[in-house]
Every structure is written in structure tokens, then in C-alpha cells.
Amino acid sequence: MSLFNKSKRPDDYDPVEEAWKSQDLKKMLKALKWKAKKPLSRHFLLLYIVQHTFTKRKESKKMAQLCDEMAQIHLSELNQYTPLLQELFGQLPNIQTHHYLATILSESHHYDDAIQVCLQALAMGIPPGKGGSYKDRIKIFETTKQKLIHQP
């Protein structure tokens, strides 16, 4: 920090990073407007917003909708982060956004969309999380969809 720099924050200060590390949803949502200084800050911001809203989705339709919207944004931007994530972790980590979005879509009976999210995760080489393999989830969504179609 320069003697003439009036800011008490270092030059590499990233408010987006500070927001996602805070785990405060209001701060994280506000930070969506800001440009991240560190390449992965926006990735983690979106990931943690999705995680936070996913856990509250059954308490509020607003949270479920916000989770869906943020997950869609996260997945639309994910390709720009995957090389950095591979470099950082040595391989792609389990990115729960696919799991969360597929779950939300299936809960609202959008099984084809849920299947597409799982196929995207498979194509990207995203390892499965706690919810089982993406291939198994696809089978479950297809079976559930067929049962609904054949209900009287």
C-alpha cells in the first residue's frame, strides 16, 4: 500500500470475495452488481447464493425462485471458471449447482429440464455429490416422469 493511498484496503481487495465469505445472503445479492477482482470470486458468490437459497426453498417460493434463477446464471457462466477450478483443485470439484437445480426442477415436475441439467454435468465431467450419480438421477427422473404420464 502506498503512503499516498488513502484507502486502508489492499490493492487486491475484492468486495465480491468478502460478500461470499460473509455467507450473508443480503450482502451476496448486493455483490451481484459488482465486478469481481479475483477470477473465482463470482463463481463462489453464485455457488453460495445457490446453496443458501436451496436450503430455504421449501420455506418460501421466493427462495425457490431465486435459487432457480441464480443456478441458471451460475451454470451459464460455469465454463469460464472450469479451467481455473481444475488448476486449483487438480480436477473439477463437485459443483453442487447441478444437483440443486435438477432437484428444484424435478420438484416442480420439469423432469426433462432436470435431465438436461444432469446431462450437462456429465458432459462437463462434474463429479456427483451426495445425491448419487447423475446417471442414476436421470433414471429416477425418467421413471417418475413416466409414472406421472401413465396416471389415470
HEC string of 4-41 equals CCCCCCCCCCCHHHHHHHHCCHHHHHHHCCCCCCCCCH
pLDDT band at 151 (very low <50, low <70, confident <90, very high): confident
What is the pLDDT, as a whole number, of residue 3? 40
Query: Which residue in 78, 97, 71 sits closest to 39, CA to CA?
Result: 78
pLDDT band at 10 (very low <50, low <70, confident <90, very high): low
pTM of the full predicted structure? 0.87
**55-109 tens-digit pLDDT:** 999 999 999 999 999 999 999 999 999 999 999 999 999 999 999 999 999 999 9
> How confident is the prediction for the chain on average, in pLDDT?
90
Q: Is the pLDDT of residue 4 over 60?
A: no
